[in-house]
Amino acid sequence: MGVVAPRSNTRSVALVTLGCARNEVDSEELAGRLAAAGWELVDDAENADVAVVNTCGFVEQAKKDSIDVLMEAAELKDSPARTKAVVAVGCMAERYGEQLADSLPEADAVLGFDSYADLSSHLDAILHGEKPKSHVPVDRRTLLPLTPSARSAANVAVPGHSSDPVIIDDLPTGLAPVSGPRVIRRRLDGRPWSPLKLASGCDRRCTFCAIPAFRGAFLSRRPAEVVNEARWLAEQGVKELFLVSENSTSYGKDLGDLRLLETMLPELAAIDGIDRVRVSYLQPAELRPGLIDAIAATEGVAPYFDISFQHSANTVLRRMRRFGSTGDFTTLLRGIRERSPQAGIRSNVIVGFPGETEAEFEELAGFLTQARLDVVGVFGYSDEDGTEAATLEGKLPDEEIAARVAHITGLVEELTAQRAEERIGERVRVLIEGVDEDDPDTVVGRAAHQGPEVDGQMLLPGVKASPGDWIDAVVTESLGVDLIAVPADDAVTSATSASVISAG
């Protein structure tokens, strides 16, 4: 926490965001709404009248982190800090509502997605001593029509898809109507990249996943809204768009055209100021050849494939209510690399799923060995409230799950380090994001195969550059999944000098 600022008569709010990039977009929508209502946005909860914590409810550790942050913010109310109230919003608040409020009386309110449109009024009421009724959770899959094509006309509160009109005249500086008259957004950081929401929710019924129950059924944003928001982000200095959703391969199905993402990618990449577009969260069973081609071959689109495999053994995938097999996934990866040999490919896997046999576990290890993925997130199975997997038989002991996680994690660390080493000599275009914390003479950034925050980074020692700059470079060394590079001109000079010395 920083130094407490002097008090003023302006209502102030700090937004603390936990979890994924989708949550970051939600926080920026809330920031836009609050700024338009006259709130002063501050970075530090100590300097705010209200701390709004956008929680994560994905896995057990994320929930614990959310509770810790809420408790830390609540402690400020008993300190010299300015903070008078702490409010929980986001996925954990939506998922648990009253239960979270009962277990965490330190929070002054627990509000769900339905409260986002009028969050300013709720915060005003809290500052005046009122106690808003805690959110009552509901299975949000039941709120939208079962038929996807009927969903866009439904009047349901979905972050990023709000149907309530907002006044767009005379907005404060830095605010813009990013999707027509329906949603406004305020950036909360100055990074040269930004998440951009394609859709919300998911129609899949994976037995281990609770997200659809609290995020709802799948709902695409209309292409014009996405493109308008992308143009606004470019005006704010964004160089790279990171397209996010719970399932990007389903984009457009509720709008009557599953090819909308393929046709929209070139339009996004052509926006003045946008130099790179990146797509996240692809379901392997829905990854169509046309979409692979669009990602691999469209100029300005990163050849980057964030594919949610979760496992490779067909028998485990069936128990997960997913599709595919080791053979299917191997064929898919081969097709991607035939189109784009340098493509970045990342995934997540779950080990220790109920009933996972030694043979199934070894099949997964064999697949990962052959797959040559750039990054793999490894998760040990744990029961999630309200999921079908929590009722399955064949649960493995915790110590066995931990042992399998350790084994796959060790394997993955070795494999991804090898994959990074294979990239030595590659020519890359690096988006500079800042300076290395351990070495101020080294700038850091990301190449096309590296997604934001989780996929490793590119280090360029001795280079002077600012966030948002682009540098053409050549990879010279690897450090785990991180890579060291030099500007391409320097690499050519070094190679020429070495050749001359060798010839001499």
Residues at the annotated binding site for [4Fe-4S] cluster? 20, 56, 91, 202, 206, 209
Alpha helices in 104-141 (DSSP H): 119-127
CA distance 51 to 41: 10
Cβ–Cβ < 8 Å for 196, 275: no
Alpha helices in 48-153 (DSSP H): 60-75, 90-96, 98-103, 119-127
User: Helix (H, G, I), strand (E, B), or coil: what is residue 479?
Assistant: strand
Cβ–Cβ < 8 Å for 297, 340: yes
Cβ–Cβ < 8 Å for 184, 33: yes
Whole-number CA gyration radius for the chain: 24
Tell me 153's DSSP state. G
Tokens (6 digits) for 229: 């928001």
Alpha helices in 8-165 (DSSP H): 21-36, 60-75, 90-96, 98-103, 119-127
CA distance 63 to 91: 9
CA distance 350 to 12: 42
* CB contact burial 408-435 (16+ within 10 A = b; e otherwise): beebbeebbeebbeebeeeebbbbbbee
Query: Residues near 309 by Cβ (< 8 Å), separated by ≥ 6?
Result: 284, 324, 329, 347, 348, 349
